A and B are shown apart, each in its own frame.
Chain A
């Protein structure tokens, strides 16, 4: 690991100034992904600015019904919070499907959103990777492709976003509060994470020095009936091959409203607007659910290693929506 300076500013503005003014600086929250990348030599900051004790670790209910999650709230605490469990089961379930108990106890809300892909080539400095070293090429296109993206990829990068939490937040339409050198702003999900295009080194729309200080969960009664389903190589402690976050409102056999996001399919958590559109106003039937999945995956670009993801995504979506429909009927 390369040597680095370490600081722990008392004010958020000082932290932002410290990182924004130093191209080699990085924020550290829980560090569960960053420290690992530093050990691998994938990320080599010359300065770490610790914001774990600086950012809020509280979960607050706002008067208008939103829930504000401090940027330093650990994943465990967010998953276990009574109001999150009640109002956003999809989010609790997504968090609990990720990582291990030890990691969830440390990993922060802001850091989870900004964790980087676990593409084996990104994590291996001996191999070319446009995300790690722009312009060197993508080893995954012709290499081990089981985890490769099937939607929204580019010739430059086929990596998938690793977060479960972000998939749920993308379905819910969460809003990130960002403090940057020019002041505060908000960035909505979807919209925080970007597709690779010609700049796969950029995972998000954030600029160097931007700091996620909190995430708001919207007032969304639809989410009372929501769920997260993750398909992976083993039953626990593995990244998603495919995951689905969904919320569904069915009245008299008709879908009134739906929210759907996929994980494991793309460079960003994939909000399934086409599937949602196909579902709304239609029958809450197995065939309609499958058709919605097929519509969303219509443009999928697959290779021999990851072609399985298309039927897996369609099947998982149908399973999830059927479960939510049955739940509604009870």
Chain B
């Protein structure tokens, strides 16, 4: 079973025909050659495939491409503007927030989406009280980023990078 859909990826329009089983991740990587989002677990547990879908962070491996016809997708590569790294990506470089780098595009997209959520004053599991403004402590960063695993264990530097980018 096939369907023809349109995706707007990192500012570019793509019309493509996909098998209905195709995930957004596979459409991006295998059909459009957009390899910034990575396939890790392919079950929504590791976060390596995180992209911004209509501005919100999601795991692209559990999204069916056919269900997101017409959607606007931003990957970590698409966050750069005029050849300059996005401030969050820059902070990952400055703080050595990775080792092998495989999880990094997902971490960066997740952090960008997460900082928007904090700006919108969304509480988290560790936020003290549901009515107080969120203060982005290291504990908050760790909780909010728990959907992104790093097998190299670069968490300390990832937290430092996000802490700086949040300033």
Contact = CB atoms under 8 A, between A and B. Distances in A.
Q: Do A and B come from one complex?
A: yes
Interface of A: 1, 3-6, 8, 28, 31-32, 35-36, 39-40, 48, 50, 52, 76, 79-80, 85-86, 89, 92-93, 96-97, 99-103, 105-106, 235-237
Interface centre among A1, A35, A52, A102 (most CB of B within 10 A): A102
Scoring A1, A99, A237 by chain B CB atoms within 10 A of each residue's CB, the highest score goes to A237
A96 B124 CA distance: 6
A273 B67 CA distance: 41
A99 B63 CA distance: 16
A102 to B, nearest CB: 5
Nearest to A230: B125
B62 A101 contact: no
A101 B130 contact: no
12 contacts: A6-B1, A31-B64, A39-B42, A39-B43, A80-B121, A101-B145, A102-B44, A103-B44, A106-B56, A106-B58, A106-B59, A235-B146
B146 A236 contact: yes
Interface in B88-140: 110, 113-114, 117, 120-125, 127, 130-131
**Which of B110, B117, B146 has the largest number of chain A CB atoms within 10 A?**
B146
B153 to A, nearest CB: 15
Interface of B: 1, 3, 19-21, 23, 42-44, 47, 50, 56-59, 62-64, 66-67, 110, 113-114, 117, 120-125, 127, 130-131, 142-148
Given A6-B3, A105-B57, A32 B143 contact: no
Contact of B67 (A31, A39, A86, A237): A31
Given A36-B44, A85-B131, A50 B67 contact: yes
A102 B50 contact: yes
B166 to A, nearest CB: 15
A19 B43 CA distance: 26
Contacts of B130: 85-86, 89, 92-93
Given A6-B64, A32-B62, A236-B146, A79 B122 contact: yes
Contacts of A92: 123, 130
Nearest to A77: B122
B110 A102 contact: yes
A31 B130 CA distance: 28
Contacts of B120: 80
A78 to B, nearest CB: 11
A102 B147 contact: yes
Contact of B122 (A28, A80, A89, A236): A80
A36 B21 contact: no
A128 B113 CA distance: 41
Contacts of A97: 125
A5 B64 CA distance: 12
A85 B144 CA distance: 18
Contacts of B145: 101
Contacts of B59: 32, 102-103, 106
A328 B64 CA distance: 47
Contacts of A36: 43-44, 62
A36 B42 CA distance: 8
B20 A5 contact: yes
Nearest to B56: A105
A146 B57 CA distance: 32
Contacts of B110: 101-102
A54 B62 CA distance: 20
A236 B121 CA distance: 20
A93 B20 contact: no
Contacts of A50: 67
A48 B147 CA distance: 27
B21 A4 contact: yes
A3 B63 contact: no
